[in-house]
Structure 1
Amino acid sequence: TYTGAESFWLSNEGQKLKVWHISGNSDKAIIYFGGNAEDVSINIPQFKALFDNYSIYLHNYRGYGGSTGSPTENGLVSDARALFDHLQDKHAHISVVGRSLGTGVAIALASERRVHRLVLVTPYDSMVHLASTYYPFFPVALLLKDTYDSLSRSTGIDIPTLLLIAEHDEVIPRRVSESLSSALKAEHTTVTVIRGASHNTIETFSTYEKAITTFLD
């Protein structure tokens, strides 16, 4: 267990989902969707330190961190919806933070629900575009079942959105992130490049912490 955090179970589509909760001092909330195979509980100390005025919910995907089932795009988006709907009446507004894979889940949720603010950490425009940068000679659009097409969903995003991009992201090429940022409505979108950061170190930079706390304050 973590000091100041507790977990609860949410049921959806026959699956049990483990959600970590950090109680805040206000009726504002943040939901966090992590990266691929990430045990989101590792983020508890940092989130607790950065957002002591928020209630924070960190959601373990199906098949990870104690949650049952296996992860599919439809399943993860359905679970995100279920968690948001479960929390909606408890909070005046709910902001959403997605990281890496989780940016696709976060955008899907924000395109369907009344999210207050949206933070996308090391985002991509679609899994098809991302995969094609690694396998340019394979028909990845035909092979991928889960496309996480954030580009098409971005047209439904009408809320303040922050993209945090690692300068030296070795997993998600800059052009894949910038394709998404250029599709989002310019008047709602802020893009911050974290200098010196790589895909897996971005959250360790003080510039990252300052950008995310300023945006969500």
Structure 2
Amino acid sequence: MQRTLAVILVLAMGAYAAACLLLFLLQRSLIYYPPAAAAYPAPKTWVLEQPGATVKVSERPLAGPRALVYLGGNAEDVTASLPLLAQAFPDRAIYLLHYRGYTGSTGKPSEEALVLDALALYDRVAREHPDVAVIGRSLGTGVAVQLASQRPVSRLVLVTPFDSIAGLAQQQFPYFPVRWLLRDRYDSMQYAPRVSAPTLLLVAGQDEIIPAHSPKALLSHFPKGVARLHVIEGVGHNTISNSPDYVPSLQGAR
């Protein structure tokens, strides 16, 4: 009997270890969901040459000192956000980054690569526009916070933000040591204290993916007086931009 139990225990431990290994190997396919095609024809597109990848940028050109860099969600084709962004920011040139491996870009997405690409895009945009605002949505908030912690952005807007992917993943996989397995952590709480730009956290009141405590925890890590949190009620994680309050909320951070 004891031998049978020992065999069962060994098999169970082996299966658990195999599941942990599979989760480790497949984790980026669980984080990044590249869309199949562009959702909206941008007025202009160009390529940002980066080490190991060519990264597509969609642009709504506009002469002048002011610009906006937009960093989208993990399953978003960023051009889908262009009409609302153009409505909210008629006085800014708009630049939308297509992540590595997403529509029109080569390479493979990772936290390090996406942040490096965002920094490179900012540097390119800032040559022509000294006033650069940044919007990140969902996964893009993790990139945007790191960008704003390293560059002098004029405004920062975080749409459906989270404090850390590690915490969210642990809720999704409670029986696995996710915090040890994760390679891309997007620990925004670590970078928030270094942000000095006026920051808006725009939260969906019925967000079914990010629990309410997550953006509140992130808010607490910004320097005092830098960030504020605004909740749009009656919308979820993926429907927040459908709300009639979405564009006015963005315009409040213009």
Q: Same fold (TM over 0.5)?
A: yes
Q: Structure 1 length as normaliser, TM-score?
A: 0.95
Q: Structure 2 length as normaliser, TM-score?
A: 0.82
Q: Which runs of 5+ in 2 are unaligned?
A: 1-37
AA in 1 matched with 2:107: G
Give the counterpart of 1:124 among 162, 165, 172: 162
> Secondary structure at the residue paired with 1:16?
strand
* Cα offsets for 1:109-132 (capped at 9, x unmatched): 111111111000000111101111
Contact 1:5 1:44 in 2 (8 A): no
* Cα offsets for 1:139-195 (capped at 9, x unmatched): 111111000110111111111000000000001111111110111123111110001
2:95 matches 1:52 = no
1:37 to partner: Cα distance: 2.7
Q: For this pair of structures, how many residues does the alignment match?
A: 216
Match of 2:24 in 1: none
Q: Which runs of 5+ in 1 are unaligned?
A: none
Contact 2:202 2:232 in 1 (8 A): yes
Identity among equivalent pairs (%): 43
Match of 1:196 in 2: 234
Cα RMSD for the two superposed structures: 1.4
2:177 matches 1:139 = yes
Runs of 4+ displaced beyond 6 Å: none
| Distance in 2 (alpha carbons) for counterparts of 1:25 and 1:196 | 37
- Alpha-carbon distance change, 35 to 4 in structure 1, aligned in 2, over 3 angstroms: closer
1:136 to partner: Cα distance: 2.3
Structure of greater Rg: 2
Match of 2:251 in 1: 213
Match of 2:55 in 1: 17
Q: Which moved more, 1:133-142 or 1:57-66?
A: 133-142
1:3 to partner: Cα distance: 6.7
Match of 2:27 in 1: none
Contact 1:162 1:215 in 2 (8 A): yes
